[in-house]
A = this chain, B = another copy of it.
Amino acid sequence: MLNKNTETFICCDRDYNDSSVVLFGAPFDGTASFRPGTRFGPSAIRHESYGLESYSPYQDGDLADMAIFDSGDLELCFGNTNKVLDNIYQRAATILNDNKLPFMLGGEHLVTLGAFRAAAEKYPDVRLIHFDAHTDLRQEYLGETLSHASVIRRCHDIIGDGKIFQFGIRSGDKSEFVWSREGHTYLRMFDTKGLTDVIHSLSGLPVYLTVDLDILDPAVFPGTGTPEAGGISFDELRRAVTQACKGCKIVACDVTELSPPYDISGVSTAVAGKIVREMLIALNPIIRRP
C-alpha cells in the first residue's frame, strides 16, 4: 500500500500490519479560492520532519518507540472534486476497516469530508472536534456546496446538531455565526477555552479531530492561504491537541492547510511537523496495537 518514491514522516516506517496509526497525505487544493498551494503540504511536512527530533520533551515520549506507518500520498486528480473525495474516503475506510487509526495530512480543509465520511460510516455516533480560524459553515461558496469554506457544514449534514465542537474561530460570514448559534454547533470564538469540558462530555464517544493549522496566529504560521490575524499561539495549540488526543477516544484525525509556497522561511512547516509529532505521541500508538 506504500506509494513508491515517498519519504515517510520521521520514524513512521513500521510495517503496516504492526502499526496502529497510519498516516496518509491528501495533496489537494482544488477548491482554494484565494491562494492555492496546500497540495504541497504533505510532502513538505514529511521532508522537513527530518529537521525535528523524534523525541518530545513536552511528553517525554519518542516516535522511535511507536507503531506508525506512513502510507504516502494519494494520487488525486485535480478538476473533479467528487472523485477526489471518494479517493480519500476509500483510503480512510481501508485503514479503519483494518482497525487502525487514519491520520491524514492535507491539503485544503475540504479533504476532511472524505475521511470523515469513512469515520461516520464506521462510527455512526462520531463527534467532530474542529480547530480552525474559520467557521467553514457555508451552505455554498460561489455556487458550490463542496468547498473548503463549507466542509464543516457538510460534516454537519452527516451527523447533525450538537455533535460538532469548534474552537479558535475568528472569521466567517455573519450568517455562519448566526447559524451556529441557532444550536447547530458548539462554537468557541478566538481561543480553545472550554476544551476540557467538551472532552469530558465526550467521554467514551468516538471522536474525529480535525486541525486547520490557520487557527494559529499568522506570526507563528504564515504559510497558509488565508492568513487571519489574531490567532492562538503554538503552545496553546500544542496543549489543546495533546489534551484531545490523550483525553478522547480518537478514531481518526487530520492536520490541514499548510501551504508551503507561502512558507518561505520554513517555520510554518516546522510548526506543522511538530504538531503532527505531538499528536502522534499523544495517541500513543503502541498500546493500541491489535
Q: Is the CB of A147 within 8 A of B79?
A: yes
Q: Is the CB of B228 within 8 A of A235?
A: no
Query: What's the least CB distance linking A253 to chain B, in Å?
Result: 19
Contact mask A143-182 → B, CB, 8 Å, 1/0?
1101100000000000000000000011111100100000
List the one stretch of A24-32, A95-103, A242-250 in contact with chain B: A24-32
* CB-defined contacts of A35 to chain B, threshold 8 Å: 51, 261, 266
A117 at interface, CB cutoff 8 A = no
- CB contact list, A196-242 vs B, under 8 A: 217-220, 222-223, 226-230, 234-235, 238
* CB-defined contacts of A144 to chain B, threshold 8 Å: 77-80
Q: Is the CB of A57 within 8 A of B172?
A: yes
* CB-defined contacts of A32 to chain B, threshold 8 Å: 78
CA distance in complex: A219, B233 (Å): 10
Cβ-neighbour of A7 out of B7, B81, B170 (below 8 A)? B7
A127 at interface, CB cutoff 8 A = no
* CB-defined contacts of A218 to chain B, threshold 8 Å: 220, 265, 267, 270-271
Whether A37 contacts B34 in the complex (CB less than 8 A), given A234-B217, A266-B227, comes out as no
The chain B residue sitting closest to A39, CB to CB, is B36
* CB-defined contacts of A265 to chain B, threshold 8 Å: 218, 222-223, 227, 262-264
Q: Is the CB of B7 within 8 A of A5?
A: yes
Q: Is the CB of B57 within 8 A of A170?
A: yes
Residue of A36, A190, A261, A264 with highest tally of chain B CB at under 10 A: A36
Q: Is the CB of B53 within 8 A of A172?
A: yes
A142 at interface, CB cutoff 8 A = yes
The chain B residue sitting closest to A238, CB to CB, is B230
- CB contact list, A67-81 vs B, under 8 A: 75, 77-81
- Could you give 14 example pairs across A and B, Cβ below 8 Å? A5-B8, A31-B79, A34-B51, A35-B51, A35-B266, A36-B36, A55-B177, A57-B190, A79-B144, A220-B229, A223-B265, A227-B266, A228-B270, A230-B274
Q: A4-B13, A51-B226, A227-B265 are in contact. List 20 more A-B contacts (CB 8 A).
A: A6-B7, A35-B51, A36-B36, A36-B37, A37-B261, A53-B172, A55-B173, A57-B177, A78-B142, A79-B81, A80-B81, A80-B144, A83-B143, A217-B220, A219-B220, A227-B270, A229-B270, A229-B274, A262-B265, A262-B266
Closest 3 CB pairs of A and B: A222-B265, A218-B267, A36-B36
